[in-house]
Amino acid sequence: MRKVTVHCEKSPYDVHIGRGLLQSAGAILAQSVKPCRAVLVTDDNVNALYAREVADSLEATGFNMLKFVFPHGERSKNTTVFLELLEFLAENRVTRSDVVIALGGGVTGDIAGFAASVYLRGIRFVQMPTTLLAAVDSSVGGKTGVNLKAGKNLAGAFWQPMTVICDCDTFATLPSEILADGLSETIKYGMISDKQLFESLKTNGFEADTEGVVERCVAIKAEVVAADEFDTGRRQLLNFGHTVGHAVEKLSSYESSHGHAVAIGMAVITRACDRLGMTEEPCFEPLKELLDKYGLPSSCPFGAEELADAALADKKRSGDFVNLVVPLRVGECALKTVPVNELERFIAAGLGG
């Protein structure tokens, strides 16, 4: 088992990465949490696959289990499900000495973490990611939230987990498109911070060292979070592709998954930077080659005007400016502040044709 420690304001926590970890989840969790009531939050798909295994492990270690199950998919990441979970916690008289456990992908982690952050003004929280995307990105760093009608992740809080348990065996049950969502975020880490990771994904592939790839992505994120936990500066580099990606998700009524939308967002921004002479070496073709390798899109079905309009509802807007992450070369990105009235032109430069 591999371990990465995330250092944050309140207290550090460990990300455990390995195989067969769900079977020993109780023993791992007991290292940082005394047995108590544990509320397992999961969606209906993951519930059928892994909830019993996790519950058995936790109960064998002395935890008393409750379970909240909601319909899978991004459409459930809303205030209705969020409030239903809060009511469930209250009806079952969950206390601050208990713990909420998110078992599933990014949607589950975001909803459960946000609920844990506000229920009783904050209770303990654990992440058990079962998707590659959640493992390399959303389960680490403490960003939680739900979508509003106006846009993605517009209501939320920073709430760090006590620990993260990542069992890479769960990736075997992922449909290819869901696995590709995680690979999109993995490619993002290579683009913003690690050319060697980028080249390894191209040459060796993800499956050659799955645990090593997850560990490297988590290590990159842990370093960034330690330097900027509350997303006021350097951490914004992790948003590469996300401003346009969130716009794609919204415009598609969330039919486009997060990872696929981020792939489009990375491609649009990178093509624009190449065309506008902002990169120090060509970046779009290497990125497109890797996106193609993993079946991820690089062309956008929406126009510049509608993308810009949707992007302006994103939380990355600050007054009359939008903060974008732009590539300089593979393995290095920078932050660029773009005036709102120039965003459409910038996006247009990144569209095909």
- List residues bridging with 314 in a β-sheet: none
C-alpha distance across the termini of the chain, in Å: 47
pLDDT at 315 over 80: no
pLDDT of residue 232: 87
What six digits make up the tokens of 196?
Answer: 């060697």
pLDDT at 275 over 80: yes
pLDDT mean over 10-19? 96
pLDDT-based confidence at residue 313 (cuts at 50, 70, 90): confident
pLDDT of residue 228: 93
Helix (H) or strand (E) holding 338: strand 332-339
Distances (CA, A) of 247 to 159, 225, 226, 300: 25, 25, 28, 11
* Model pLDDT for residues 125-176, shown as the tens digit of each residue: 999 999 999 999 999 999 999 999 988 999 999 999 999 999 999 999 999 9
Give the angle subtended at the CA of 72 by the CAs of 68 and 77, to the nearest 5°: 80
* Model pLDDT for residues 103-123, shown as the tens digit of each residue: 999 999 999 999 999 999 999
Q: What are phi and psi of 301, to 5 degrees?
A: -85, -5
What six digits make up the tokens of 142?
Answer: 């403490």
Distance CA 47, CA 26 (A): 17
What six digits make up the tokens of 38?
Answer: 């544990």
Q: Is 100 helix (H, G, I), strand (E, B) or coil?
A: strand
Tell me 34's DSSP state. -
Q: For the whole model, what pTM was predicted? A: 0.95
Q: What are phi and psi of 41, to 5 degrees?
A: -105, 125
Residue 135: closest CA among 210, 230, 207: 210
Task: Count the residues in the chain.
Answer: 353
pLDDT mean over 203-229? 96
* Average pLDDT of the chain, as a whole number: 95
| b/e sequence 45-81, b meaning 16+ C-beta within 10 Å | bbbeebbeebbebbeebebeebbbebebebebbbeeb
What six digits make up the tokens of 303?
Answer: 């126009």
> What is the CA 221 to chain-centroid distance, rounded?
11
pLDDT of residue 198: 98
Q: In this structure, how many other beta carbons lie within 10 angstroms of the beta carbon of residue 225?
A: 23
Sign of the CA dihedral with 314 first, then 215, 170, and 108 last: negative
pLDDT-based confidence at residue 319 (cuts at 50, 70, 90): confident
Give alpha helix (H) positions in the chain: 25-29, 44-46, 52-60, 79-91, 106-118, 132-133, 176-193, 195-203, 210-227, 242-251, 258-275, 284-293, 304-311, 340-350
Quote the percentage of the chain above a pLDDT of 90: 93
Quote the percentage of the chain above a pLDDT of 70: 99
Distance CA 224, CA 107 (A): 22
pLDDT mean over 41-60? 98
For strands 13-18 and 99-104, give the pairing.
Answer: unpaired
Distance CA 9, CA 95 (A): 23
Distance CA 208, CA 185 (A): 18
pLDDT at 316 over 80: no
Residue 270: closest CA among 253, 288, 283: 283
Domains and CATH numbers, the chain: 2-173 (3.40.50.1970), 176-350 (1.20.1090.10)
Q: Is 138 helix (H, G, I), strand (E, B) or coil?
A: helix
Sign of the CA dihedral with 206 first, then 274, 244, and 324 last: positive
Question: How many Cα atoms occupy the beta-carbon half-sphere of 320 within 13 Å?
Answer: 3
